[in-house]
Amino acid sequence: MKKVKQANIYIGLNDSFTHEQIFDTEKYVSILKRVCKAYHVAFSMNKIDGGYFHDDGTYVEENSLVLSLLDVKEDVVEEISKDLCVFFNQESVMVTYSDAMIQFVKERI
């Protein structure tokens, strides 16, 4: 087993100006995949529903994507986060970090 850092980047899909989702979710997924490929990082991704409050107290529900990255340097996670923030026209994205243990299990016949 190997101890690594796991970073999760949460990206809302509502546009920061219109507060509505402009494109189909699959278009955002496609962009996210291209970004990960460009940074040469392995990833997992989940589509989730989320809700949050704007600074003015307005409550918003939206579709979101969670990008999970294992054993990626924090400066690279920050660069990816900034790119996704710009590409998805977000005010911000949220990044969480946690410790993870990884193990690759193989079976041969």
Q: What is the pLDDT of residue 53?
A: 85
Residue 55 pLDDT greater than 90, yes or no: no
Which of 68, 69, 50, 70 lies closest to 60 in space, CA to CA? 50
Rounded to an integer, what distance in angstroms lies between the CA atom of residue 38 and that of residue 63? 24
Supply the pTM of this predicted model. Answer: 0.91
Q: Domain limits of the chain?
A: 2-102
Q: What is the pLDDT of residue 54?
A: 79
Percent of the chain past pLDDT 70, that is, above it, reads: 100
The answer to which of 29-38, 46-55, 59-68, 84-93 has the lowest mean pLDDT is 46-55
DSSP 17: T
Fold classification of 2-102 is: Alpha-Beta Plaits (3.30.70)
Distance of CA 43 to the CA centre of its chain: 9
